[in-house]
Structure 1
Amino acid sequence: MNAEQCRCGGSDKRKAIVGITEPGYADHSVEADILSPLGAEVRLLRWGGDRAKLLEMLDELDVVMVRDIPVLDAEAIGHLKAGSGIVRYGVGVDTIDLNAARERGIKVANVPDYGADIEVADHAAALTLALVRRVVTRDEKVKAGQWNIAQKEPIYRINGSTLGLVGFGKIARSYLERMRGFGVGEVLVYDPYITDEYAAQFGAQRTDFDNICRRASIISLHAPATAETRNMVNARTLGLMNEKTCIINTSRGGLIDTAALAEALKAGKIFGAALDVLDKEPVAADCPLTGLENVILTDHTGWYSEASVRSIQEKAAQAAVEILTTGTPTNWVNRW
């Protein structure tokens, strides 16, 4: 269903209004079907980048459902009704001012369990293999008529290499399972929220980020965007790495200082980077990473499969139902 509005059953009371911000998914009949028993009206908020138009739309909503954009800062949240709700399709809530929502009694829910650990872990592994084995550059050069180019560009063996994981949640652990299949050796983990004993259960050693930068050949980022993780990959930490270091990022673009990474890549200080996320999305025309042979970029698609899309829509709609009925979503992230 792609209608601008979907009106669903019930007429004795004012219909609850659930707004879904564009850009959304190709079809929102999943949400409409789940919300229809409540008699809720589902609106697609086609704001076209016009913030003033969006703010006006927010005024009427009982629940707003969002993806990565738009940013729901204090001003935007001020346009929502006190006691209304916000549902984030997915895990990250760094684009939502949780404190502002809390002050207005607005409950924010996310969807942490839609199965994306499978897709993101697969994508991270695919990026790792493509980068280390130079799949993208080989494809380009062979299509351009070149052949027998292997020894002109070194390729390092994955088997026996040291793997560094930044963050050790479900996705990182799923990625580790995949990389063990390729024979990675020592596994180093930086995550201040786990214990040495917990890491050891997975055959990993807990350490600090600087040590990972010094020792790991493959560094895969799986941390949330916080004040502590902002630009953790920067000129200083890049300086600890070497010409064999590969950086994989399927978490948040803000973990990396893009300008510093570009300089390290241009100078050949590290092997390369494969990124599904950037600090500014979509990719800007002046992004210093475009055009570099030792960079692979994908369009924040690590989470995606047809199965994950349906799952995330179903679970997000269920969170909206919880807000409208019990008032307490299962995955309530700004609790008070």
Structure 2
Amino acid sequence: MEQSGRKRVVIIDDGYGTYETEQRILNAVDADVILEPCRGDVTRVIAAVAEADAILVRESPVNAQVVQAATRLRAIVRYGIGVDNIDLAAARDRAIYVANVPDYGVEEVSDQALALLLSVARHTVVRDRAVRAGAWNVSRSEKMYRIAGSTLGLVGYGRIARTFERKMRGMGVERVLVYDPFLNASGAPGVEMVDLDTLCAQSDHISLHSPLTPDTRRIIDARRLALMKPTTIIVNTARGGLIDEAALVDALKHRVIFGAGIDVFEGEPPPADHPLFSCENAVLSDHTGWYSEDSVAELQRKAAEEVARVLRGELPKSWLNKWETQSA
């Protein structure tokens, strides 16, 4: 319940079972938590945040128009890692802190990438359907290849990619190639830093872990898919916009690559007639790679703690749109 004279923290996307964690943490800094689900509607967002001191957001847009409308705003905190729905520059221009939670769900997303890779490599989904339909002993009808001794390509080399690498090393991956333009070789011991074309041409398995930016949008396009081996599996648990989906469908249907494991789409949810649904060599999931009961609890707590830091006059731990300052 909102009380007069207290700070106002607005949650503009719902989706969690309870917000008791946020209420407990933010009550300690004299803030009321108001849930105003906006369902991605920027007009509703503008109305919801007009008197907010801080915003907690998942998918709804926080663009320049929203930032200008929120005259009291001090912090925007993303429930998650990617901030492509937030105008960082507009917030910086008004000295509004933008923060995320970069270290939650690392185990879960890397597990999802591994699960998708194995499902594609072992034809798990197709084989399940075949067995239920009465098929048996069809091993050579769908070729499979060993993971041990293979080459792994990682596009982006942050926390999730490194955790995924650790798990794949345990399965016997022999060589790891990394493309990350924000990292030099000294920051990636034990892997080979290469350009993206080299990674595409030489990797047996490719896993995407980059943020979505204008420079990375559709970074995997028809040309780069054509560079890949016919035995290559590509996995995307990062952002759907990293892949040209039409080019991927074409590559899958013409067996340019072996298969794909996709947890994220360019438009979510995808339409019922999305072309990827007709690709037997694709395994798909619903952008839930981040999810476990443990990761949800961790995410809500850490996001609320970032808001609390700003409202106490401190700097957020994961401050993304930095400007020169000594204090909050």
Fold-level match, TM-score > 0.5? yes
Which of 100, 107, 110 lines up with 1:110 in the alignment? 100
Equivalent position of 2:182 in the other structure: 193
Equivalent position of 1:3 in the other structure: none
Q: Distance in 2 between matches of 1:176 and 1:47?
A: 37
Residue 264 of structure 1 pairs with residue 254 of structure 2: no
Q: Using the TM superposition, give the Cα deviation of residue 18 of structure 1 relative to its aligned residue in structure 2, in angstroms.
A: 0.6
Q: Distance in 2 between matches of 1:177 and 1:308?
A: 20
5+ residue gaps in structure 2? 324-328
Equivalent position of 1:100 in the other structure: 90
Q: Distance in 1 between matches of 2:41 and 2:217?
A: 28
TM-score w.r.t. structure 2 length? 0.94
Residue 298 of structure 1 pairs with residue 285 of structure 2: yes
SS class of match (1:24): coil
Equivalent position of 2:262 in the other structure: 275
Q: Distance in 2 between matches of 1:324 and 1:300?
A: 32
Aligned in 2, Cα 1:48/1:125: closer, same or farther, shift over 3 Å? closer
Deviations 1:23-46 (A, max 9, x none): 331111110011112231111113
SS class of match (1:323): helix
Residue 168 of structure 1 pairs with residue 194 of structure 2: no
Letter in 2 for 1:145: G
Q: Distance in 1 between matches of 2:43 and 2:11?
A: 17
Q: Distance in 2 between matches of 1:54 and 1:232?
A: 31
Aligned in 2, Cα 1:59/1:332: closer, same or farther, shift over 3 Å? same
Q: Using the TM superposition, give the Cα deviation of residue 49 of structure 1 relative to its aligned residue in structure 2, in angstroms.
A: 4.8
Which aligned pairs between 1:14-163 and structure 2 lie closer than 5 A?
14-67=5-58, 69-114=59-104, 116-163=105-152
Q: Which moved more, 1:43-52 or 1:138-147?
A: 43-52
Letter in 1 for 2:5: R
Q: Distance in 1 between matches of 2:26 and 2:116?
A: 38
Figure out how many residues of one structure are paired with residues of the other and give that number: 323
Q: Distance in 2 between matches of 1:330 and 1:283?
A: 34
Q: Using the TM superposition, give the Cα deviation of residue 111 of structure 1 relative to its aligned residue in structure 2, in angstroms.
A: 1.1
Equivalent position of 2:238 in the other structure: 251
Q: Distance in 2 between matches of 1:183 and 1:50?
A: 47
CA contact (8 A) 1:110 1:316 kept: yes
CA contact (8 A) 2:14 2:35 kept: no
Identical aligned pairs, as a percentage? 47
Aligned in 2, Cα 1:88/1:227: closer, same or farther, shift over 3 Å? same
Residue 313 of structure 1 pairs with residue 300 of structure 2: yes
CA contact (8 A) 2:51 2:73 kept: no
